[in-house]
Amino acid sequence: MTTAGSFNPFAMAQAQFDGVAELLGLDEATRQLLREPLREYSFAIPVRMDDGTHRVFRGFRVQHNDARGASKGGIRFHPQESLDTVRALAMWMSWKTAVVDIPLGGGKGGVICDPHHLSLREQEQICRGWVRQVARNVGPLLDVPAPDVMTSAQHMLWMLDEFETIHGGKYPGFITGKPVGLGGSLGRTEATGYGVVYTLRDALERLGIEARGTTASVQGFGNVARHAIELFARLGGTTVCVACWDQADQTSYSYRRASGIDLDELRGITDRFGGIDRNKARDLGYEVLDGGAWIEQQVDVLIPAALENQINADNVTSIAPSVKVIAEGANGPTTPEADAEIRRRGIFLLPDFLANAGGVTCSYFEQVQSNMNYYWERDEVLRRLDRKMTAAFEGVVELAESRKLYMRDAAYVIAIDRVAQACHDRGWV
């Protein structure tokens, strides 16, 4: 059994890989190459704090595989960040870029810190210090970072400025998720959440379910969750419950309204990290429930869009019989033990590195635009994103049906086969 205390995301990522390596019959050298990162960096970031004291933060960058192109992946600021988490996320990024067939590899970064308790100046120093530690090992042709949990366009701009200062030139393609007008792409903000719903729309259509009238429960109320809720509503769906972290209590709560949540209303009582003011929510007529209640709701769709290890052996049996689709907006939200139960029950799963690949796909679009120094209109970006997500979904579901595979396994087979083939073609193994 995987418990919160013993959960190791990298061990989970390796276990998922090992199972698919068997399906593909990969040779031993290829398995050894792909189940570990090509490179990883762990380093100290000394920062002078606003009160004059000094603190040292621990930073990471992992480049899992770059056989298909420059490494690509976000940078997370989180107090529970760990090297194993970054390793897992970098591996998942290799599969994510491969499953949507964009010419990039997998990387990830992080810093152990809590931005809630840091001033903007202190956060800027962490960003610049992170870049200084890896400036020779990242870049538009090597490794392209992006925002992730608790990092933003402003953080990316500080990092870009530091990289350009070190290298003495303009390199807008070094980093994605930048502000629009300073090398950022229109459509990037909504891309991950919209990508989740593009694949959800296609899954419902495949299942013969009309999107209009369906209901959803969402874990998370950050950027991915909000844009997923927004587009789901435009398809005619109703989100009846959201769960998010409460910084003041250091715990999570679920907010339910049977008639459906009001996205703008909740946005108006939310802090910059996606935490809802529960007293104001109660005053607006929301039921305030335990943080785990989101998974128990009698809905058609579950969208975990927060952190890893959120659907596990301890709570998977709480999923209501009404649930037909799980669309993973987060990275690694479902453990292998939970996967076994989801498969047994026949719930249609949209695996994370397919469902949430809209973010990296649009990051790729931003990188292309930055390197060309020519930028597309928002509608063009989203049209290209929709086409990419639909093509990736169709490839995975057709393989799943033809070979009678679980959707996660089918996505892995496509992604790992593409990366393995690139390694073989290059003569690495």
> Cβ-count burial of 225 within 10 angstroms (0-12 exposed, 13-18 middle, 19+ buried)?
buried
Under 8 Å between Cβ of 65 and 115: no
Identity at 274, one-letter amino acid code? G
Residues sharing a CB contact under 8 Å with residue 85, sequence separation 6 or more, in sequence order: 9, 10, 76, 110, 308
Is residue 404 flagged as an active site residue? Answer: no
What does DSSP say about strands 54-65 and 105-112: parallel, antiparallel, or unpaired?
A: antiparallel
Task: Give dist(CA 218, CA 233) in Å, integer.
Answer: 13
What does DSSP say about strands 71-78 and 54-65: parallel, antiparallel, or unpaired?
A: unpaired
Residue 30, by phi and psi: left (phi above 0), alpha (psi -120 to 50) or beta? Answer: alpha
H or E element, residue 70:
none
By C-alpha distance, which of 15, 113, 13 is closest to 65? 13
What are 167's two structure tokens?
């290298």
Under 8 Å between Cβ of 112 and 58: yes
H or E element, residue 21:
helix 9-24
By C-alpha distance, which of 406, 360, 369 is closest to 68? 360
> Quick one: CA torsion of 77, 81, 84, 89, rounded to 10 degrees?
-40
Name beta bridge partners: 48: 54
Task: Supply φ then ψ for residue 47, to 5 degrees.
Answer: -135, 135
CA-based R_g, the chain, Å: 21
Selected catalytic residue, list 72, 108, 178, 388: 108
Name beta bridge partners: 218: 242, 303
> What residues are labeled active site?
108
